[in-house]
């Protein structure tokens, strides 16, 4: 690894929110410091918004619905989204650097995320003028047709693990369909969403169409999901917070999309291409240090290949050195001390419950990064399905291995949690793979490549992983309402 050791913080990072196209500080005057989790140093600050600030943002978004934005043709909306994609790409290196500084993720991952964010704008730009309704044949004396109208003000509550890409994933289809938006990024990682607000204005988006407020969950996210003028809330985050958001949105009958956690299995059958399976498993659990809702956090392996898989995974995990994301370390820090404590707590409890730690299992010290929050890549061996670590989302670099004796048992173990976000399988037997796809209760099935797909493939959960779909054309369903017009002629 080349140690560039250039961890400098870019100049002129945003310090204000964007409401009605204007830079705005919090009414209460407070600010939140944002931290580089690899070093612990402060890299910037943004406003600590409260309910009054939220109200101001939603009011702007509501007014913008009736303003200039309403007169844009769908093609003109699409052109702004294309321009946004181009401007994101033009600023990609800066955005990636800021994302790495704020979230800790390796710069190659941040670069990938920024490109994906641009990709969302490009993808939904192309659909803006193709969202058309139906005509309904009622016989010669009637004419009936449907209109796809924007739902109104959409709220987007964003997690810290994929800051810009999650913002883009919601905002791009919302704008394509003619809505306005208020975005609340996570309090740990708000800078790139603020930078996006400025990019959208430069791309020609009218003021007030996309507003970004920064603040904490209860004091800013809460009032946003509770605001009576918000028509739809797109939420990505924890199950507990998702339930709260859904309850608050219910008070004013807003619709919600909830993308919550996962405990996703990666099944490896005895006939699998083990090289591909090892590579897939390592990426599934160590991408972004396991802080991924769709992480493959359980390996469900058939007994004949169990020992081989273990040897290769342990070797793979031990080869992952920890370091600063800007040095493109194989593995970066976790997001915060709180997250580190949470991950360490799960593993310590597992150890206390006599679960064997095949590798890792401890907080890691990294030379030169003593203020960072690092956890060693960890593999827990032969974990029973009812163990806490096999049931609850850890959100860290911790893989649980579960051994099975048949493809049927693999399906039942895959289904053995309250979550249903993703399930992966490695096998050369197409029938077994498709049986698995049929019988596993999850929103996405990955066959022979974990994280297969991308912008165009619908994403969302079943069970406690939530409902509603993002990405692909399926995401648009959240952002338009069907109005049916019927005439007696």
Question: Interface with ligand ADP by CB under 6 A: which residues?
Answer: 157-159, 184, 186-187, 216-218, 221-222, 225, 237-238, 241, 244-245
Select from 436, 386, 385 the least CA-distant residue to 408: 436
48/460 Cα distance (integer angstroms) = 30
Closer to ligand ADP at the Cβ: 106 or 159? 159
The entry of ligand ADP, Mg ion, none near residue 35 (CB within 5 to 8 angstroms by kind) is Mg ion
The entry of ligand ADP, Mg ion, none near residue 167 (CB within 5 to 8 angstroms by kind) is none
Q: Give every CB contact of residue 380 below 8 A, 6+ residues apart in sequence.
A: 347, 350, 355, 356, 357, 358, 361, 389, 398, 399, 400, 401
Q: Give every CB contact of residue 1 below 8 A, 6+ residues apart in sequence.
A: 321, 323, 327, 328, 329, 330
Nearest-5° Cα angle at 304, 299 to 305? 45
Closer to Mg ion at the Cβ: 256 or 334? 334
Interaction mask 147-186, Mg ion, x per CB under 5 A: ----------------------------------------
Q: Are 182 and 156 in contact (CB under 8 A)?
A: yes
Helix (H) or strand (E) holding 460: none
Instruction: Give the residue at shortest CB distance from ligand ADP.
Output: 217
Q: Interacting stretch for Mg ion, rule CB under 5 A, among 27-35, 92-100, 193-201, 418-426?
A: 27-35
The entry of ligand ADP, Mg ion, none near residue 221 (CB within 5 to 8 angstroms by kind) is ligand ADP
Select from 101, 94, 92 the least CA-distant residue to 34: 101
Tell whether residue 188 is a contact of Mg ion (CB under 5 A).
yes
235/168 Cα distance (integer angstroms) = 13
Residue with tokens 């990019």: 199
Active site residue 302: no
93/88 Cα distance (integer angstroms) = 9
Closer to ligand ADP at the Cβ: 180 or 188? 188
Q: How far is CA 399 from CA 216, 294, 303, 410, 414, in A?
A: 30, 13, 17, 17, 14
Q: Which of 26, 35, 65, 292 binds Mg ion (CB under 5 A)?
A: 35
CB of 215 to ligand ADP, least distance (A): 8
CB of 192 to ligand ADP, least distance (A): 14
Q: Are 365 and 323 in contact (CB under 8 A)?
A: no
Three-state SS for 69?
Answer: helix
Q: Which of 53, 102, 302, 328 binds Mg ion (CB under 5 A)?
A: 102
What is the tally of helices (H) and strands (E) in the chain?
15, 23
Tell whether residue 99 is a contact of Mg ion (CB under 5 A).
no
CB of 160 to ligand ADP, least distance (A): 6
Closer to ligand ADP at the Cβ: 156 or 432? 156
Q: Are 193 and 37 in contact (CB under 8 A)?
A: no
The entry of Mg ion, ligand ADP, none near residue 218 (CB within 5 to 8 angstroms by kind) is ligand ADP
Closer to Mg ion at the Cβ: 176 or 191? 191
Tell whether residue 192 is a contact of Mg ion (CB under 5 A).
no
The entry of Mg ion, ligand ADP, none near residue 411 (CB within 5 to 8 angstroms by kind) is none
The entry of ligand ADP, Mg ion, none near residue 333 (CB within 5 to 8 angstroms by kind) is none
Nearest-5° Cα angle at 320, 313 to 293? 75
Active site residue 293: yes
Closer to ligand ADP at the Cβ: 220 or 284? 220
CA 329 to chain centre: 22
Closer to ligand ADP at the Cβ: 193 or 427? 193
253/58 Cα distance (integer angstroms) = 16
CB of 225 to Mg ion, least distance (A): 23
Q: Are 333 and 371 in contact (CB under 8 A)?
A: no
Number of residues near Mg ion (by CB under 5 A): 4
- Give all strands (DSSP E) within 196-272, no chain letters: 210-212, 230-236, 255-259, 264-268
Tell whether residue 331 is a contact of Mg ion (CB under 5 A).
no
CB of 188 to Mg ion, least distance (A): 4
Active-site choice (109, 293, 302, 400): 293
Instruction: Please state whether beta strands 255-259 and 142-150 pair in parallel, antiparallel, or not at all (unpaired).
Output: unpaired
The entry of Mg ion, ligand ADP, none near residue 102 (CB within 5 to 8 angstroms by kind) is Mg ion
Active-site choice (102, 259, 302, 470): 259
The entry of ligand ADP, Mg ion, none near residue 157 (CB within 5 to 8 angstroms by kind) is ligand ADP
CB of 223 to ligand ADP, least distance (A): 8
CB of 156 to ligand ADP, least distance (A): 9
Closer to ligand ADP at the Cβ: 336 or 481? 336
Length of the chain: 489
Q: Any idea of the CA torsion for 130, 479, 487, 71, to the nearest 10 degrees?
A: -70
Three-state SS for 102?
Answer: helix
Q: Which residues bind Mg ion (CB under 5 A)?
A: 34-35, 102, 188
Active site residues: 259, 293
């Amino acid at each position: 690894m080349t140690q560039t050791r250039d961890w400098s913080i870019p100049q002129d990072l945003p310090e204000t929110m964007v409401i009605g196209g204007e830079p705005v500080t919090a009414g209460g005057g407070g600010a939140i410091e944002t931290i580089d989790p690899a070093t612990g140093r402060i890299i910037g600050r943004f406003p600590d918004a409260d309910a009054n600030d939220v109200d101001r943002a939603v009011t702007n978004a509501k007014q913008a619905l009736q303003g200039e934005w309403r007169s844009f043709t769908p093609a003109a909306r699409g052109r702004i989204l294309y321009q946004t994609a181009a401007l994101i790409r033009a600023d990609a290196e800066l955005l990636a650097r800021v994302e790495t500084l704020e979230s800790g993720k390796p710069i190659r991952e941040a670069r990938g995320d920024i490109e994906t964010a641009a990709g969302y704008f490009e993808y939904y730009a192309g659909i803006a003028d193709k969202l058309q309704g139906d005509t309904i044949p009622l016989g010669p004396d009637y004419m009936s047709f449907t209109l796809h109208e924007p739902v109104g003000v959409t709220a987007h509550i964003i997690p810290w693990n994929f800051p810009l890409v999650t913002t883009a994933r919601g905002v791009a289809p919302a704008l394509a369909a003619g809505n306005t938006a208020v975005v609340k990024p996570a309090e740990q990682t708000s800078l790139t969403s603020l930078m996006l607000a400025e990019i959208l204005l430069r791309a020609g988006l009218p003021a007030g169409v996309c507003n970004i407020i920064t603040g904490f969950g209860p004091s800013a996210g809460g009032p946003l999901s509770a605001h009576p003028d918000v028509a739809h809330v797109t939420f990505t985050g924890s199950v507990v917070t998702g339930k709260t958001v859904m309850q608050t949105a219910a008070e004013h009958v807003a619709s919600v999309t909830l993308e919550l956690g996962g405990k996703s299995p990666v099944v490896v059958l005895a006939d699998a291409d083990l090289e591909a399976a090892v590579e897939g498993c390592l990426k599934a659990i160590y991408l972004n240090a396991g802080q991924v809702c769709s992480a493959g956090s359980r390996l469900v392996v058939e007994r004949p290949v169990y020992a081989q898989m273990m040897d290769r995974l342990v070797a793979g995990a031990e080869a992952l050195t920890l370091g600063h994301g800007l040095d493109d370390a194989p593995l970066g820090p976790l997001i915060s001390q709180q997250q580190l404590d949470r991950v360490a707590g799960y593993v310590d409890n597992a150890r206390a419950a006599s679960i064997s730690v095949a590798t890792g299992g401890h907080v890691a010290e990294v030379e030169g990064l003593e203020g960072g929050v690092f956890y060693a890549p960890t593999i827990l061996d032969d974990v029973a399905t009812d163990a806490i670590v096999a049931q609850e989302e850890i959100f860290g670099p911790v893989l649980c291995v579960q051994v099975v004796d048949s493809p049927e048992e693999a399906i039942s173990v895959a289904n053995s949690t309250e979550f249903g976000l993703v399930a992966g399988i490695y096998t050369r037997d197409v029938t077994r793979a498709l049986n698995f796809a049929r019988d596993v209760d999850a929103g996405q099935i990955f066959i022979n490549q974990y994280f297969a797909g991308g912008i165009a493939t619908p994403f969302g959960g079943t069970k406690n992983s939530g409902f509603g779909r993002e990405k692909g054309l399926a995401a648009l369903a959240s952002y338009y309402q069907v109005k049916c017009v019927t005439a007696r002629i």
